[in-house]
Copies of this chain bind each other. A is one copy, B any other.
């Protein structure tokens, strides 16, 4: 382990140095680089698909779970879609060098706040080889280096993809070490300890996997473990519209993190609403688990305290009746995961209170929680969804891969001039 960490540290230093070079490339040059990568990936498609075939065969021999197999399998369509994603990304505006503040502190003393790359991303993902293509291209677009650690089962696929990317980088005279692939399991933990060389960890995988990553690193983590989303049906909800929203939020893609897990219903509207929504959900194959009050209106399995904390990721929905908007907000803040929560109501004041008091990254009114997504928000790319309180929060686009620095340019200015009894005042004039 000691040797491994030292090796990895040396490699990570090289990635950081390569990233620093990449950061100096212009936006147009990084755009061309991404186009070249897309072209090389297309040329190397047969090799990549063959490597994936080898991974799939080995995984089948080892008895891989069907869901994991589906994520591992890379067919020509999935690869073409990933490559199209690289071309789309190339076209997005350059996230670097954006001027956030441009201020004259005094005559000739100019302060600018400019976006710049974070540095080196540590990306750990299970199975999915197409994630390598996506993450590597996001890193290059944002001028970052990336150290990628793929699942053991996808090792041949990942190596073939990274070899193609490296070839494109070399052909374009770009720093090849900017994108690096790790393949051994021991390296995951070592990567999480590389505080000095890795600036941001992006985990892609199951809830428990993300939680493991969060618990084992001091490096900032972009992502979320749980997605326990709620729909609260207010007493002033429009029933038909709300039934449609409920069905979409639960069933349109139940495995998504932005699908609802708990339906809270104001007790005044429950006798009218619950039977209708229960029938509509039943038709889609959803099982309900309710508290005692809900069970008196529609027969369903009993929910326990544990249900309020569960992300089913499946066609199961917990149902709880609440006496008030306040009680609904309290339930969401207590049991939710801060992802996305919605209110259905025709009462604007109730919606405003919900917006203000629910502590979640997304607070919605009269629409499905399934809109919580970087592409749907118009970000062009999604790096992840964060449920932490501090920014970046919610669906995170390229913005999440850049930071900023303060650049101050003068011609000999010193602090003493602006201090003490004879202090010259600052101008603080935005330009």
Contacts and interface: CB of A to CB of B under 8 A. Distances in A.
Interface of A: 20, 23-24, 103, 105, 109, 111, 116, 118-119, 199-200, 220, 238, 241, 244-245, 247-249, 252-253, 351, 355-357, 359-368, 370-372, 376-378, 388-391, 393-395, 403-416, 418-419, 426, 428
A200 B388 CA distance: 11
A105 B377 contact: yes
Given A245-B414, A365-B410, A366-B410, A403 B419 contact: no
A368 B372 CA distance: 45
Contacts of A406: 361-363, 372, 377, 394-395
A371 B406 CA distance: 11
Chain B CB count within 10 A is highest, among A20, A395, A415, for A415
A414 B248 contact: yes
A372 B405 CA distance: 12
B415 A368 contact: yes
Contacts of A220: 388-390
Contact of A415 (B252, B355, B377, B414): B252
A395 B394 CA distance: 25
B241 A412 contact: yes
Contacts of A23: 356-357
Given A356-B23, A389-B199, A371 B415 contact: yes
B412 A390 contact: no
Nearest to A103: B378
Contacts of A393: 403-405
A390 B199 CA distance: 8
Contacts of A253: 415
The 9 closest A-B pairs by CB, nearest first: A367-B410, A370-B415, A248-B414, A378-B428, A241-B412, A367-B413, A368-B414, A364-B408, A362-B406
Contacts of A357: 20, 23-24
A412 B367 contact: yes
A414 B248 CA distance: 6
A233 B412 CA distance: 13
Contacts of A391: 391, 403-404
Contact of A368 (B238, B245, B363, B413): B413
Contact of A244 (B245, B360, B371, B414): B414
B403 A371 contact: no
A263 to B, nearest CB: 15
Contacts of A428: 378
A364 B109 CA distance: 10
Contacts of A365: 407-410
Nearest to A241: B412
6 contacts: A119-B359, A244-B414, A245-B412, A351-B409, A366-B412, A394-B406
Nearest to A247: B414
A315 to B, nearest CB: 15
A285 B232 CA distance: 68
Contacts of A418: 376
Nearest to A120: B389
Contacts of A252: 414-416, 419
